[in-house]
């Protein structure tokens, strides 16, 4: 049954059917072959999305859309530019730094791509950077939207693998800051080599003025993350606070959101949330059927027999996830694979929080790798170019993230040190 389900899903992908529908169709095939009770199947789909932590997803998406429309993104760009814009290659570095700050409240890489890309991709092109480079840089930098907490994939991993979402969030800071710093260093070196961006500092605000203008925007991650780790509210409650704060700042303080904008913001947020929830429901049913068929146990035993050490296990899993991430949407991959792989990781002595970060960073790579990288399509839309033109400029960024992935995988202290300090482990 499981083989037929997998073949059905691969066939659907080959026919360019959407991820959610592909998983759903393969699950229906499994129901028919396995004579599963349809009522139980519907119940499993409902149970997959009827979980309190998942309520954070639509709220974080809504908060990101409010920030994009309410002028918060633009002020964060000016703030980041005041810090790094004065050096050669300062504008691309501004792109990375802004995505790091925006990631601390959005939880979504696609939202980060649109919110920051609509401002910085035209600015990069205006300063003489190739359009393909600007789009590749933005797509890669937006990855930080799912690595730096709060993160929607971390929420999904926490729910699927039964791991503390709070611990995942605090552990995500180490890899997120490390990858952001690595990208900024590479951008600086590459711009030096290409002799780009010698005049990037023109027209930037002073640090004091930019900080004053972005003050309300900068308070948002402080309130959200401070509230979570201060025990004031849970990550799910924090998502609702993020929406409330962004709405107040955008409508009453910056006054850039009009009443007519709210319908558009809600529509975008509902559509994005519905897509993710539909994927979660179908992936939950798929996971239920393969679990019933004993596939996770079989894979677990096989991995333990073939990969004899934690190092080989991480290498094998990273190779598999890299290929899977090219074709399967991150949310679906985490929901299906986390319950299978996390117990095996624990068997090898790997902390489930550390393994969760490895999964998230690896699958985030899928967002910038053809043929189905969602960040690539978003960046191409903003830059108005075709995907094939980006490949040459994209390769160095993928290699940088791959190197960072190896560091995250084999240096667990990068993920766990802050977690252990905060949670006194």
Domain boundaries, the chain: 39-422
- Assess whether pLDDT exceeds 90 at residue 367: no
Predicted local distance difference test score (pLDDT) of residue 203: 67
Please list, residue by residue across 40-72, b when 16 or more beta carbons sit within 10 angstroms of its beta carbon and e when fewer do.
ebeebbeebbeeeebbbbbbbbbbbbbbbbbbb
CA distances from 63 to 58, 125, 210, 269 (A): 9, 28, 22, 9
Give the predicted TM-score (pTM) of the model. 0.86
Please list, residue by residue across 268-284, b when 16 or more beta carbons sit within 10 angstroms of its beta carbon and e when fewer do.
bbeebbebbbbbbbbbb
Alpha-carbon 79 to chain mean position: 23
Predicted local distance difference test score (pLDDT) of residue 1: 67
What are the structure tokens assigned to 314, written together?
């991480």
Count of Cβ atoms closer than 10 Å to residue 372 Cβ: 17
Which of 303, 298, 325, 330 shows the shortest CA–CA distance to 315? 303
What are the structure tokens assigned to 207, written together?
């640090």
- Assess whether pLDDT exceeds 80 at residue 143: yes
Predicted local distance difference test score (pLDDT) of residue 45: 84
Q: Highest mean pLDDT range out of 64-73, 153-162, 220-229, 324-333?
A: 153-162
Mean pLDDT of 123-135: 91
> Across all residues in the chain, what is the average pLDDT?
86
DSSP for 252-267, please give it. Answer: IIS----HHHHHHHHH
Calculate what percentage of the chain has a pLDDT beyond 70.
97
> How far apart are alpha carbons 11 and 60 in whole angstroms?
33
**Lowest-confidence segment of 117-121, 353-357, 369-373 by average pLDDT:** 369-373
Q: Quickly state the pLDDT bin for 87 (edges 50, 70, 90).
A: confident
> How far apart are alpha carbons 231 and 89 in whole angstroms?
40
The residue whose two tokens read 């033109």 is: 389
Q: Highest mean pLDDT range out of 76-80, 187-191, 227-231?
A: 187-191
Predicted local distance difference test score (pLDDT) of residue 199: 74
> How far apart are alpha carbons 296 and 26 in whole angstroms?
17
Predicted local distance difference test score (pLDDT) of residue 285: 83
């Amino acid at each position: 049954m499981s083989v037929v389900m997998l073949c059905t899903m691969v066939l659907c992908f080959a026919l360019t059917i959407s991820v959610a529908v592909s998983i759903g169709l393969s699950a229906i095939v499994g129901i028919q072959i396995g004579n599963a009770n349809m009522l139980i199947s519907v119940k499993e789909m409902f149970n997959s999305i009827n979980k309190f932590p998942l309520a954070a997803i639509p709220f974080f998406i809504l908060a990101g859309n409010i920030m994009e429309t309410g002028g918060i993104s633009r002020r964060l760009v000016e703030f980041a530019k005041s810090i790094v814009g004065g050096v050669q290659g300062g504008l691309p570095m501004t792109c990375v730094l802004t995505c790091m700050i925006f990631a601390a409240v959005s939880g979504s890489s696609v939202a980060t791509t649109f919110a920051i890309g609509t401002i910085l991709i035209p600015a990069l092109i205006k300063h003489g950077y190739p359009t393909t480079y600007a789009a590749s840089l933005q797509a890669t930098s937006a990855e930080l939207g799912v690595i730096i907490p709060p993160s929607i994939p971390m929420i999904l991993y926490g729910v699927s693998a039964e791991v503390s979402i709070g611990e995942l969030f605090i552990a995500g800071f180490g890899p997120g800051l490390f990858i952001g710093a690595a990208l900024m260093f590479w951008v600086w070196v590459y711009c030096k080599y290409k002799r780009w961006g010698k005049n990037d500092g023109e027209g930037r605000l002073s640090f004091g003025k930019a900080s004053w203008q972005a003050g309300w925007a900068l308070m948002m991650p402080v309130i959200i993350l401070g509230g979570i780790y201060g025990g004031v509210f849970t990550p799910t409650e924090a998502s609702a606070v993020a929406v409330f704060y962004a709405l107040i700042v955008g409508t009453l303080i910056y006054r850039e959101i009009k009443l007519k904008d709210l319908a558009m913001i809600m529509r975008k947020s509902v559509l994005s949330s519905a897509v993710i929830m539909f994927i979660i429901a179908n992936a939950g049913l798929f996971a239920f059927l393969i679990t019933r068929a004993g596939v996770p146990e079989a894979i677990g035993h096989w991995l333990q027999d073939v990969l004899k050490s934690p190092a080989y296990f991480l290498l094998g899993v990273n190779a598999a996830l890299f290929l899977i991430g090219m074709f399967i949407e991150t949310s679906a991959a985490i929901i299906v694979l986390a319950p299978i792989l996390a117990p095996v990781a624990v068997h090898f002595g790997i902390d489930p929080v550390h393994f969760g970060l490895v999964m998230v960073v690896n699958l985030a790579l899928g967002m910038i790798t053809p043929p189905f990288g969602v960040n690539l399509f978003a960046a191409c839309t903003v830059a108005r170019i075709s995907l094939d033109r980006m490949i040459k400029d994209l390769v160095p960024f993928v290699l940088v993230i791959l190197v960072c992935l190896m560091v995250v995988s084999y240096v667990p202290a990068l993920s766990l040190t802050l977690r252990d300090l905060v949670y006194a482990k």
